[in-house]
Amino acid sequence: MLERGDPRPTVLLTGFGPFPGIPSNVSADLVRKVARLARRALPEFHFAVAVLPTEWMRAPRLVAALHMRYRPMLALHFGVASGAESIRLEMEGRNFCRPALDAAGALPSASVLCEDGPSARHATIAVKAIAKELNARGYPAFISDDAGGYLCNAVLYHSLAHAEARGGCQVGFVHIPPDLSEPSRMAEAIQGALEIIKIALEPISKRASLTST
């Protein structure tokens, strides 16, 4: 929880709970472990962590509440993708819902996420630059222009909308493999996620350093 009067900018990290076909969602474990490392590596930032329910109604509401509560400078969302072999950075969230059951056994109430919203919202982290830097640092990363039509896409779209409404927040979505049971694979994913955070925050850290000198 963000302490009252804490002047540090907040980084919001989210993962997902289980959903049909994925009884244990590794993204929830990942964001907790990444946050622990990030708090030590980047003490000038406050890190907030949340595990989102994989539900059409509840997930967007919680995203809205998290933006309102923390007013993050960076909101980075993580989810699993069955076809992902390594880190996959999403370019955009689309105003589309796939008619698929969520963790509560419910279908989306409409075929779109927002009746009067744009057809797509683009991630505001520097996706291409981050992917290039990750690969240079030895963390295989790919770029995707299709976040799917399920809750990962919905969370990205809604998070971008909230960030746009208040300004000053970068938003991105990272897909990871659904199976990171091998310790080496989990360790690589955690370090890769930490690198994404560091790269996204570099301009902010530099500005803070210049201000303090």
Residues 10-212, CATH architecture? 3-Layer(aba) Sandwich (3.40)
Name the helix (H) or strand (E) containing 189.
helix 183-212
Contacting residues for 117 by C-beta, under 8 A, at least 6 apart: 95, 157, 161
Q: Give me the helix-helix angle, 58-70 and 151-166, nearest 10°.
A: 30
Give the pLDDT confidence score for residue 210 in this predicted structure: 44
- Look up tokens 């409404």; give the residue: 165
**Tens digit of each residue's pLDDT (9 = 90 or more) over 29-44:** 999 999 999 999 999 9
38-80 residue pLDDT tens? 999 999 999 999 999 999 999 999 999 999 999 999 999 999 9
pLDDT of residue 28: 97
On the CB side of 48, how many CA atoms lie within 13 Å of its CA? 23
Distance between CA atoms of 90 and 73, rounded to whole angstroms? 19
The mean pLDDT value for 188-192 works out to 97
Q: Confidence class of residue 108 from pLDDT cuts 50, 70 and 90?
A: very high
Instruction: Please report the pLDDT score of residue 205 as a whole number.
Output: 66
Bridge partners for 199 per DSSP: none
Q: CB of 32 within 8 A of CB of 49?
A: yes
The CA-atom distances, in angstroms, between 111 and each of 99, 103, 124, 125, 142 are: 7, 18, 25, 27, 28
User: Residues with catalytic annotation?
Assistant: 90, 152, 175
Domain segments of the chain: what residues?
10-212
How far, in whole angstroms, is CA 15 from its chain's centroid?
Answer: 7
Give the H/E segment covering residue 17: none
pLDDT tens-digit map of 96-107: 999 999 999 999
Q: Phi first, then psi: what are they for 205, rounded to 5°?
A: -65, -40
Residue 213 has pLDDT above 60, yes or no: no
pLDDT at 207 over 60: no
User: pTM for the complete prediction?
Assistant: 0.93
Share of residues in the chain with pLDDT > 70 (%) = 93
pLDDT at 178 exceeding the cut of 70:
yes
Q: Buried b vs exposed e over 105-117: b needs ≥16 C-beta within 10 Å?
A: eeebeeeebeeee
Q: What one-character-per-residue DSSP string does 89-154 give?
A: EE-EEES-------TTS---SSSSS-TTS-SEEE--S-HHHHHHHHHHTT--EEEES---SSHHHH
